[in-house]
Structure 1
Amino acid sequence: MKTTTRWSTRWPERISYGLSDAADNLIFQMMTTYLLFFYTDVYGLSPSAAAILFIVARVADVFESFIIGLMIDHTHSRFGKSRPFFLWCAVPYVAFAILTFVTPNFSYPGKVAWAYVTYLGLGFLYTAVNLPITSILPTMSQNTRELTLLGVIRQFFGSSIQIVVAVFTLPLVALFGHGDQQRGFLGTIILFGIISLILIINTFVHVRERFANPKIAHQPLKVVLSMLKHNQPWIVISIVIFLYWLVTAIKNQTTIYYFKYTVGKVGMVPLVNSFTLAALIGVLLILRMTDVNSKKSVMLQGILVALVGQTVIAVGVYLNLMAVLFAGVFINSIGNGIIIGLVSIMIADTIRYGASLGIQSEGIMASTDDFGVNLGLGLGGLITAGLFHVSGYVANRPQNSETLLMINLNYVWLPLLIYGAMYLILRLYDEERIIKEIKG
C-alpha cells in the first residue's frame, strides 16, 4: 500500500526500537522454552505443581496486561505515555528474571513458594517492559510503510534473539555449570539479563513518541471499553495472537522432552532449534509481500506455510526421519516469521482505527498482545504439564507409552489443530474497514 506521508524516523531510532524486542526475548524465550524443563528436571517441582503455577500466573496476567495498559493510557510524562516504562521497569525486570532461576535449598513447600513469588513477579514486569513496545509504535509515525518497516525490524531482532536463546542456552548451561545444571542455568540468565538491561535502556534513550492527540489520549475507561466493542479488527487479531502463542508455547516446551525421551538424544535440541533461523526469512519477506498484498492476505499465507511445515514435521516424527522433521521445522518457521512479524503492525492499525473512532487508547489496545502472549504461554504450559502429569511422567526416567503418546500429541497434533483455527478466525478480519477509516 503506497502512501505519501512523510517518514519520521531514522536508522538509529529504528534499530533501537527493534532491539527492545531483542532485549525482552533474551529472557522471555528462556521462560517459554526452558522454564518448564527447569522446574521439573532441575529445580525439582512436580509437573502438577508446575501446571498449577502456570495457570495461576495466567489468571494474574488477565489483570496484569490490562493494568499496565491502563497505566500507559493514564501516564502524563515529558517522555510520553509508553516510553517511561522502559526506564522505570528495566532493572526490576532483569532482577526478577535472575531470581526465577535461583535454586534456594528450601523444603519442597518453600521451593514452590519461591517459584510462585519469582515467576509471578517476572510475569508482571515482563508485561511492563514489553507492552510499551507495541503501544509506542503507532505514535512513532503516521506513514503506513514506515510502521511496517519498524514492525519488521522489531521482529527481525526478536526472532534473531529467539534463535540465539534456543540454540545457545543448553551449551551455555553446560559451559557455566560444568555438569551442574542449577549453576549453569543461573549463569546463563545472568548473562542474558545484563545484555537485556543495556538494550532496554538504549531503547528508552533513542525512541520518541511523536503523534498523539491530547484531546482523545486520556479517555475514561468506560468510553474506551465502549469503543473496543465496535473495533472488530482488534477483536479478531487479539484471538489470533492468543492462538499463535498457544501453539508456540506447546511446541517450544515439548521439543526438549521429545528429543530427550522419544528420540533419546537431548543433544540434538540445539541443532533442531537452529532450523528456526528460517523465521527470519519470513520476517524479511513481509516488506516485499505487503507491497502487493494486504497484511491480512500475507498473514493468511504465513499461516498456511506454517501449517504445511507442521504437516511435514508429523511425517518426520511418524516415519522417524530426522531430515524430514528438520525440513518441517524450517518450513514451519518461515510461516511463523510471517505471522509474528505482522502482529504488532496489525495491532498498530487497529489502534489507529480506534483513534478514527475518537479514542486514542494505545495502552489498553496494545495490551491484547501481551495478554495473548501470557495467556498462550500459560495455557500452553498448563496443557503440556497437565498431560504429562495424567500420563505418569517421571523426570529423568524412561517414560511409559502413555507419556510418549502425550509428547507426540503436543509436538505434532495440537499444533496442527491450532494453526487451522488461526486461519479460519483471521479470515474474519475486516481490513477494508481499517483502510477506509485511516486513509492508509
Structure 2
Amino acid sequence: MVKSIADVPNQKECIKSGLLPNGLLTTKEKWSYGLGDLSSNLVWGFIGSYLLYFYTDVALIPVAATGTLFLVARVLDAFIDPVIGGFVDRTNTKMGRTIPYMRYAIIPLAAVLILTFSYVDTGTAGKLIYAYITYIVVGIVYSVVNVPYGSLMTLMTRNSAEKAKLASLRVAGAAIGSIAITALAMPLVNLLGNGNKRVGFMLTAAVFGVIGIIGFEIVARNCKERYLEMPKVGQTSTQRPKVSFLSTYKSVIKNRAWVTTVIFALLLFIRIGIIVAITIYFAIYVLKSPALISVLLPLLYVGQLISTLFSAQVIGKLGHRKANIIANIGFIVSYLILPFTEHIIPLFIAVYLIGNVIGAISAASVFGMNADAVDYNEWKFGQRSEGTLYAGYSFATKVGMAIGSAVAGYALTWIGYSAAHITPSVVSGLNVLYFAIPLVLTVLMLITTLFYNLDDKHAQIVEDLNARSKEQEK
C-alpha cells in the first residue's frame, strides 16, 4: 500500500500501487470508498433525521429553541471545517495524508454520537446547554472524519469518469445508510429501549456508531492515496514547499468552479434538510397517515440509490452542468404535480419517487464537481488544497442541513404548530413548507449550475497536469 508521498518517488510508482491503466481503479477500492459514506450517514443521517424529533418529543426542549440551536451550531463550522481542511493539506505521515483522521477520529465520533442522543434530566435550561455542547462537538468531530474522507477521492485518481463512479458509489453508500436509518432507527429505538425512547435512542446511536467504526477501517485499509503534490527530485515528503493558509484561501476564492459547487451544495442540502425535517409532520397531519413516515423518508434515499445506476453515465456523457439542469427541471416538475396527488397515495408515492430519482443526479454530480475543482486549483494556482476545498463543500452540506432544520423549526412556530391542536391553517402551512420552499431552492440551484465552467476544460487540465508530473520526473 502507498503510505505517503515519500513512498512514491514518481508517477510510475503510483501506477504500480494499484491504479489500473488510464487512471482506472479496482472494483474493491471503489466499493470500499463508497462504504465510507454509508458509515458517515449512519451517524449524520441519524442526526439529520431524528435529532429534531429527539429534542422536541423525547428530551422535551422547546421547538423554537431547537431552531436556534441547529443554526448556531452549524454556523460555527464556518470556522472549523476550513481549519481541518488546512491541516489535512499539510499532513504527511507514513500512514498517509487522510487515512489517519478517518481511522482514529471515527472512534470519538461514535462516542459523542451516543452522548448527543442521551437524555439528561436537568431542567429546560440544563438540557438546552447539554444539547448545545453535544451537538457542536459531534459536528466538529464529524468534520475531522468527513473532510479527510471527502478529500481522499481527489488523491485516488484524476480520471473524471472514475471520479464520477466514485461519486455515484458515495451516493449509493449514503443512500443505503440513510435508508437503514429511516427504516430501522425507530424499530431499533423501540426494541432496544423496550418502550423507553430515552434509552432506545442512546442504544441505537451506539449500534450505528460501532458500524461506522468498522466501515471506516475498511476504507482506511483498501483506499490508496496517489496524486499528492510531488516533491522535486532529491526532496522528501517533509521538504514539500509550505503554503500559507492565507495563500490557500486566496486561491480557492478565485476558483469559480469551486465557489459554484459550494453554493450549489448549500442550496441542495438546505432543500434536503427541510424535506427530511417536515416529512414526519407532513405524513401525520396532511396525508393523515403516520405509517407513511416509514415510506416517504426511505424513498427519499431509495431514489438516490436508483439514481446511482445511471447518474455516472449521464454525467459522463452530458457533463455536470447539463446533467444538473436535467436533474433540477425533473425535480421541479414532480413537485409541481405532487400537491394534486395527495388524495391518491399510490400516485403520490410514484411521483415522489420519480422526482427523487431524477433530482438525485445532483447528489452524485456535486462530488465530482468538487473533485474537478481540485484539479483546476492545482492547474491554475499550483496548489491542490484538496483538504481546504473539500472542507468548503463539507461546510456547505452541514450548514445547509442545519439551515433546513432551523427553517423547519422556525416555520413550524410561524404556522402555529402545536401537537395538541392542529388547525386547518397549520395543515395549509405544512403544504407550503413541504412544496413551495423546496421548489424555490431548486430554481436557485438551476440558476447556480449555469455558472459551472469546467466541463469543456477538465480533459485538457488533466493532460497538462500529467505532463507537469512527467517533467518533474526528469
User: Does the alignment reach a TM-score above 0.5?
Assistant: yes
Can you list the C-alpha shifts for 1:337-357, whole angstroms capped at 9, x where unaligned? 211112211111000110101
**Structure 2 equivalent of residue 17 of structure 1:** 33
Instruction: Provide the rounded CA distance (Å) in 1 between the counterparts of 2:297 and 2:69.
Output: 26
The one of 110, 129, 132 equivalent to 1:94 is 110
The CA deviation at 1:143 is 2.0
Instruction: Provide the rounded CA distance (Å) in 1 between the counterparts of 2:426 and 2:160.
Output: 48
Uncovered stretches (5+) of structure 2, i.e. residues with no partner: 1-19, 232-239, 465-474
Q: Which has the larger radius of gyration?
A: 2
Q: 1:232 to 1:153 in 2, by over 3 A?
A: same
Instruction: Provide the rounded CA distance (Å) in 2 between the counterparts of 1:327 and 1:73.
Output: 45
**Structure 2 equivalent of residue 309 of structure 1:** 334
Instruction: Provide the rounded CA distance (Å) in 2 between the counterparts of 1:245 and 1:224.
Output: 26
State the 4+ residue runs in structure 1 displaced beyond 6 angstroms: none
Determine whether 1:261 maps to 2:288. no
The one of 161, 167, 176 equivalent to 2:192 is 176
Instruction: Provide the rounded CA distance (Å) in 2 between the counterparts of 1:218 and 1:84.
Output: 21
Determine whether 1:140 maps to 2:159. no
**Structure 2 equivalent of residue 7 of structure 1:** 23
Q: Is the Cα–Cα contact under 8 Å of residues 170 and 270 in structure 1 kept in the other structure?
A: no
Residue 148 of structure 1 aligns with an amino acid whose one-letter code is A
Pairs within 5 Å for 1:373-388: 373-388=397-412
**Structure 2 equivalent of residue 287 of structure 1:** 312
Determine whether 1:398 maps to 2:432. no
Can you list the C-alpha shifts for 1:197-235, whole angstroms capped at 9, x where unaligned? 111122112211111114577521222122223211111
Instruction: Provide the rounded CA distance (Å) in 1 between the counterparts of 2:318 and 2:416.
Output: 49
Determine whether 1:324 maps to 2:340. no
Per the normalisation by structure 2, the TM-score is: 0.87
Instruction: Provide the rounded CA distance (Å) in 1 between the counterparts of 2:286 and 2:316.
Output: 44
Instruction: Provide the rounded CA distance (Å) in 2 between the counterparts of 1:280 and 1:437.
Output: 31
Instruction: Provide the rounded CA distance (Å) in 1 between the counterparts of 2:311 and 2:389.
Output: 23
Can you list the C-alpha shifts for 1:122-164, whole angstroms capped at 9, x where unaligned? 1111111111222111111122222222222222111121122
Can you list the C-alpha shifts for 1:407-439, whole angstroms capped at 9, x where unaligned? 222211100111111011101111224444334
Pairs within 5 Å for 1:25-104: 25-104=41-120
Indicate the percent of aligned positions where both proteins have the same amino acid: 24
The one of 429, 433, 436 equivalent to 1:413 is 436
The CA deviation at 1:8 is 5.0
Instruction: Provide the rounded CA distance (Å) in 2 between the counterparts of 1:251 and 1:218.
Output: 43
The CA deviation at 1:402 is 4.0
Other structure's SS at 2:262 match: helix
**Structure 1 equivalent of residue 141 of structure 2:** 125
Instruction: Say what the alpha-carbon RMSD is for the aligned residues.
Output: 1.9
**Structure 2 equivalent of residue 300 of structure 1:** 325
**Structure 2 equivalent of residue 353 of structure 1:** 376
Can you list the C-alpha shifts for 1:236-291, whole angstroms capped at 9, x where unaligned? 11110000000000000000111223333222211223333122221221232234
Determine whether 1:369 maps to 2:393. yes
Residue 107 of structure 2 aligns with an amino acid whose one-letter code is V
Other structure's SS at 1:429 match: coil
Q: Is the Cα–Cα contact under 8 Å of residues 47 and 385 in structure 1 kept in the other structure?
A: yes
**Structure 1 equivalent of residue 299 of structure 2:** 275
Uncovered stretches (5+) of structure 1, i.e. residues with no partner: none
Q: 1:117 to 1:237 in 2, by over 3 A?
A: same
Instruction: Provide the rounded CA distance (Å) in 2 between the counterparts of 1:367 and 1:307.
Output: 29
Q: Is the Cα–Cα contact under 8 Å of residues 218 and 360 in structure 1 kept in the other structure?
A: no
Instruction: Provide the rounded CA distance (Å) in 2 between the counterparts of 1:261 and 1:430.
Output: 44
Residue 335 of structure 2 aligns with an amino acid whose one-letter code is Q
Determine whether 1:252 maps to 2:268. no
Instruction: Provide the rounded CA distance (Å) in 1 between the counterparts of 2:115 and 2:109.
Output: 10
Q: Is the Cα–Cα contact under 8 Å of residues 305 and 334 in structure 1 kept in the other structure?
A: no
Deviating more after overlay: 103-112 vs 170-179: 170-179
Q: Is the Cα–Cα contact under 8 Å of residues 236 and 428 in structure 1 kept in the other structure?
A: yes
Q: Is the Cα–Cα contact under 8 Å of residues 312 and 324 in structure 1 kept in the other structure?
A: no
Q: Is the Cα–Cα contact under 8 Å of residues 283 and 289 in structure 2 kept in the other structure?
A: yes
Deviating more after overlay: 286-295 vs 246-255: 286-295
Q: Is the Cα–Cα contact under 8 Å of residues 309 and 330 in structure 1 kept in the other structure?
A: no
**Structure 2 equivalent of residue 333 of structure 1:** 356
Deviating more after overlay: 47-56 vs 179-188: 179-188
**Structure 1 equivalent of residue 174 of structure 2:** 158
Pairs within 5 Å for 1:201-280: 201-214=217-230, 218-276=242-300, 277-280=302-305
Can you list the C-alpha shifts for 1:1-43, whole angstroms capped at 9, x where unaligned? xxx9623532222221110000000111111111111111111
Other structure's SS at 2:360 match: helix
Aligned length: 434
Instruction: Provide the rounded CA distance (Å) in 2 between the counterparts of 1:75 and 1:61.
Output: 20
Residue 212 of structure 2 aligns with an amino acid whose one-letter code is S
Instruction: Provide the rounded CA distance (Å) in 1 between the counterparts of 2:75 and 2:313.
Output: 39
Instruction: Provide the rounded CA distance (Å) in 1 between the counterparts of 2:39 and 2:338.
Output: 30
Q: Is the Cα–Cα contact under 8 Å of residues 313 and 327 in structure 1 kept in the other structure?
A: no
Q: 1:34 to 1:336 in 2, by over 3 A?
A: farther
Instruction: Provide the rounded CA distance (Å) in 1 between the counterparts of 2:225 and 2:241.
Output: 13
